[in-house]
Amino acid sequence: MWAGVLLPAGAQMIPPPMKQAPSGPKVETSAPAPSRAQDSARSEDLITDTNVLRRIDSMRRASTSRLEEIQTELLTLKSTTADKRRERELVAELGTLRQVDSLRKARSRRYIDSLKVNAKGFPVAPHNDTLFYVYTKLGPFSPQERAQLTEEKIKRLEKAVFFSPDSLRIYPSEQSTDLMYGEQVLQSISENDALWHNVSRDSLARLHRQRIITAVQEYKQQNSLLNIAKEVGLTLLVLIVLYFTVRYIIKFFSWVRLKLLAKEGTWFKGIKFGNYEFFNEQRQLSAVLLLVTVLKWVVVLLAIYLVLPVVFSIFPGTQDIADTLLGYVFNPLRRIALAFWNYLPNLFTIIVIVTVFRYVLKAVYSIKEEIRAGNLTIDGFYPDWANPTYQIVRILVWAFALIVIFPYLPGSDSPVFQGVSVFLGFLLTFGSAGSLSNIVAGLVLTYMRAYKIGDRVKIGDVTGDIVEKTLLVTRIRTIKNEEITIPNSSVMSSYTTNYSTVAPTLGLIMHTGVTIGYDVPWPQVHQLLLAAAVDADVLTEPAPFVLQTSLDDWYVAYELNFYTHAANKQAGIYSRIHQNIQDRFNEAGVEIMSPHYRAMRDGSQTTIPAGYLPKDYEAPKFRVDNSGPTP
């Protein structure tokens, strides 16, 4: 009868075990000290598990009550007239109940063992030193509330002046085993508590009693007057040691300061970068003395900071402060060291990538030097393209290297890092629009080969020599030593005259002009101009030549043309040629002027040179007619 009623019900109430825990005389589960903060999820799981255990325990109590009734009835039957049939029924029912109770205990133990795999109870830790854990609910109290109440009662027990370990007794009852000190119940241990630890209630109660007694005695010993006096004396000793330590640290740095002042003329001679003196002797000494002063106070503050945890660790009540202060220093250092250790593989990867790209650039550089020197010739690629092309290739190579390295940089996967990268890219894109146009124009000008460094050019209305050519600007120095900077975009939008491109080979044709009246024969003018085209920078081959560019009303325009390789000396050459022209014409008695004048002369005389007139030519007579009417 009982087998058919209790066993199926028990099978429905007790869930199957999740995982079989190892059996053995395990007294206390090893659980890490959990956080004292509220953990609703864990509390709910523990309450659910303890509700199951309570249903199991209610089954046990019902079974125990029925067992007591059967045993009482059997004793009654034996003391009265024997009813053998009823006695046999009761004995059979008693065997069935004991079998069901044995199965219930076995399944309860398996269920609790399965819970131990992931369960983490609530600690009873009066002074952050966990004595034991509470896993199950008892009556209306949750495991967390039971742990807090027991912890508070132990703390009150520690403050008892006349504490006696013998007064902490164990009182077993039908439902639980109580730990009591006088009339106060410190903890009630249920059957489920014992099942959690695979021991009996009495064994678990004795274990908890011993741990509570040990904790209370240690607390009273640590807070005794003798121990407090020892702690105060030790604190004073530590402070005295700190005082002398700080004193000698200050003395040491004062000695270092005097030593540095004594070596002012020997150790400190200033720091120079090229011709610029970055630090003179006095400034260098002042910087070192400032560094020594800062280092002195850093060492003093560090010594004080490291002594404070030692002072706090002397007193049991302030040991947590000592751990916290030490944690402020060592926890960041440990995290930094651990982060650096974990980053080492990425660091080695970056080093390998940078090394590979450096050797790639070295190979490109050697090719560039061969092309620039003319040892390596590539059709359609000019030697003066070597340097700018190398600069472009180097930028592209390092940009590609940065793309490869970027995933290995610390924090590259951080949203903040990515957001800053996008923001900087946005700024560069919109803030460098004008610069990008200059860069593109500079690249185009480089490969157009419009000019090179040292060429004499005319860009717009600016004439001078190219002194610098970058991707952004072109700098020109005029013959008056004026340095003019022109953006490359402006160079592209204007015209450029290069005087030096063919001057070394074909020669630059320089020209200057004079205007002479029709009364001077043109062969004489040609002869005088060619005679004036003599200078160290003027070529004899090809020979100078003269062009008559126009026949104007009163004069003829003559243009003297001559060749030179010195395109950068045009101003000096023009000046000397003009001097020669004046000398030659003055020596020949020919005036250099553009006749535009009035002369009182016989208007009948022709202006044609005499060499072109007939030998018998005679100018008409000047005739005056006075036959008009008289006034």
Q: Is the pTM of this model over 0.75?
A: no
Instruction: Tell me how far apart the alpha carbons of residues 544 and 274 are, in angstroms, rounded to a whole number.
Output: 51
Instruction: Tell me how far apart the alpha carbons of residues 236 and 454 are, in angstroms, rounded to a whole number.
Output: 82
What would the 3-class secondary structure string for 578-590 be?
Answer: HHHHHHHHHHCCC
Check: CB of residue 475 under 8 Å from CB of residue 460. Answer: no
Quick one: which H or E segment has residue 271? strand 271-273
Q: DSSP letter string over 208-228? A: HHHHHHHHHHHHHHHTSHHHH
What is the pLDDT at residue 579?
Answer: 94
Check: CB of residue 556 under 8 Å from CB of residue 548. Answer: yes
List the helix and strand counts (H, then E) for the chain. Answer: 15, 15
What is the pLDDT at residue 13?
Answer: 34
Note if the bond before 542 is cis, omega within 30 degrees: yes
Residues 238-261: tens digit of each pLDDT: 889 988 999 999 999 999 888 888
Instruction: Using the structure block, give the residue that is written with the tokens 């890490």.
Output: 32
Residues 513-548: tens digit of each pLDDT: 999 988 899 999 999 999 999 998 999 999 999 999
Which tokens belong to 496?
Answer: 């450029």
Half-sphere exposure (Cβ direction) of 221: Cα atoms closer than 13 Å:
6
What is the pLDDT at residue 577?
Answer: 94
What is the pLDDT at residue 593?
Answer: 79
Which tokens belong to 232?
Answer: 């105060």
What is the pLDDT at residue 19?
Answer: 35
- Report which of 252, 325, 263, 234 is spatially closest to residue 293, judged by C-alpha positions: 252
Say if domain 502-588 classifies as CATH 3.30.70.100: yes
Instruction: Using the structure block, give the residue that is written with the tokens 């894109």.
Output: 429
Instruction: Tell me how far apart the alpha carbons of residues 276 and 274 are, in angstroms, rounded to a whole number.
Output: 6
In CATH, the architecture of 446-498 is Roll (2.30)
What is the pLDDT at residue 79?
Answer: 60
Residue numbers of the chain with a pLDDT score lower than 50: 1-45
What is the pLDDT at residue 586?
Answer: 92
What is the pLDDT at residue 508?
Answer: 92
What is the pLDDT at residue 550?
Answer: 93
444, amino acid identity:
V
- DSSP annotation of 505 reads T
What is the pLDDT at residue 622?
Answer: 58
61, amino acid identity:
R
What is the pLDDT at residue 551?
Answer: 92
